[in-house]
C-alpha cells in the first residue's frame, strides 16, 4: 500500500481509503515494500536484478575515503556528502551525534555511491523499505548497486554530478545556531531542494543504467514532489532571514 500522509482530522477516513497492491516477489529480507502500483513493482523488479549492494563495497576498516550521512531527521531529503558538515559546540569544532559514516576503497567508488544515495531513486527506495524517518546503515547498504556493470561514460557522469552537487549543497547551505543543555551549537543546514535540478540529472543517468522507461523516470523524478519541494518554497520566502542569521553568526551535464 502507499505510504500515506494524513492530517488529524482525516484519521477516521484513513483505513477506508487505503488501497492494497500485490507485492509479488518484491519482498526483501522479510520487508514488504510500500508499493501501490504496477509501475513501482516494475521499478523494484529492475533493481532486484542487481545482485550486489552498497554494503558489498563498504569497508569495515576506517580510511580517508569517507561518506558522511545524517542518521536522523530530514524527512524528505537524505543528506549524503563526501565532506564533513560544519559543526561547533561552544565555539569548538566538533562532530554531531547525528553524523555517521561509511568507508570505501577509493574516492571514485565513493562518489559514484554518493550520487546514487542523493538520487530521488534512492529516496523512493528508502521510503519503500524503511520507517521513512531514521537513516540506518542497513538502509544505505541494502541499496542495489553493482559498479562493475556501469558503463564507463555513466560512471564519469555520476562522478562529475557528485562534484557539482557537493559544491551546490555547500553554496546553498546556511549556518544555524541552537542552545542545548550541553552548550551552544552551530551547525550547517543544507537546502537540497535548491539542488533538485542536479539531482534530476543523476536520476536520468541512473535511468539509463537500469533501463527505466520515460514514464518510470518521470515517476521517480516527481516522487513526493509536493512535499519535497515545499521546503524550497519555505526557504526562498525566508532568504533574507537566513542571510541575517549568517551575518549575526559571523553548470549541468548535457
Query: Exposed, middle or buried by CB within 10 Å (0-12, 13-18, 19+), for 199?
Result: buried
Query: Exposed, middle or buried by CB within 10 Å (0-12, 13-18, 19+), for 198?
Result: buried
Q: How far is CA 91 from CA 5, 60, 94, 192, in A?
A: 39, 32, 9, 26
Q: What is the pLDDT of residues 6-18, one digit of tens each?
A: 566 666 666 666 6
pLDDT of residue 115: 98
Q: What mean pLDDT do residues 209-216 have?
A: 96
CA dihedral 159, 121, 136, 59 (to 10 degrees): -30
Host H or E run for residue 68: strand 66-70
pLDDT of residue 58: 96
> And the C-alpha cell for 67?
561518506
User: Phi and psi for 196 in degrees, rounded to 5?
Assistant: -60, -35
| pTM across the whole model | 0.82
- Per-residue pLDDT for 233 more than 60? no
Domain boundaries, the chain: 42-248
Are 128 and 33 in contact by the 8 Å Cβ rule? The answer is yes
CA-to-CA distance for 160 and 112, rounded, in angstroms? 9
Comparing 73 with 145, the larger pLDDT belongs to 145
Q: What is the pLDDT of residues 41-83, one digit of tens each?
A: 889 989 989 999 999 999 999 999 999 998 877 778 999 999 9
Q: How far is CA 151 from CA 123, 164, 212, 228, in A?
A: 23, 20, 15, 30
Amino acid at each position: 500500500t502507499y505510504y500515506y500522509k494524513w492530517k488529524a482530522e482525516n484519521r477516521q477516513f484513513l483505513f477506508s481509503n487505503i488501497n492494497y497492491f500485490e507485492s509479488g516477489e518484491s519482498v526483501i529480507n522479510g520487508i514488504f515494500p510500500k508499493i501501490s502500483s504496477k509501475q513501482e513493482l516494475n521499478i523494484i523488479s529492475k533493481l532486484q536484478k542487481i545482485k550486489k549492494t552498497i554494503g558489498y563495497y563498504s569497508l569495515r576498516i576506517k580510511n580517508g575515503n569517507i561518506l558522511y550521512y545524517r542518521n536522523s531527521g530530514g524527512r524528505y531529503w537524505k543528506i549524503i556528502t563526501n565532506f564533513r558538515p560544519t559543526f561547533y559546540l561552544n565555539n569548538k569544532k566538533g562532530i554531531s551525534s547525528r553524523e555517521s559514516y561509511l568507508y570505501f576503497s577509493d574516492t571514485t567508488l565513493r562518489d559514484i555511491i554518493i550520487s546514487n544515495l542523493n538520487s530521488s531513486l534512492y529516496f523512493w527506495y528508502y521510503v519503500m523499505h524503511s520507517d521513512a524517518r531514521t537513516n540506518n546503515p542497513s538502509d544505505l547498504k541494502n541499496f542495489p548497486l553493482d559498479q562493475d556493470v556501469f558503463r564507463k561514460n555513466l560512471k564519469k557522469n555520476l562522478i562529475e554530478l557528485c562534484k557539482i552537487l557537493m559544491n551546490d549543497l555547500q553554496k546553498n547551505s546556511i549556518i544555524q545556531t541552537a542552545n542545548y543543555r550541553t552548550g551552544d551549537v552551530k551547525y550547517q543546514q543544507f537546502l537540497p531542494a535548491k539542488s533538485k535540478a542536479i539531482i534530476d540529472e543523476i536520476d536520468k543517468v541512473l535511468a539509463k543504467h537500469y533501463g527505466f522507461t520515460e514514464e518510470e523516470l518521470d515517476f521517480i523524478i516527481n516522487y513526493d514532489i509536493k512535499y519535497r519541494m515545499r521546503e524550497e518554497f519555505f526557504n526562498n520566502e525566508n532568504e533574507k532571514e537566513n542571510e541575517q542569521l549568517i551575518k549575526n553568526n559571523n553548470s549541468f551535464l548535457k
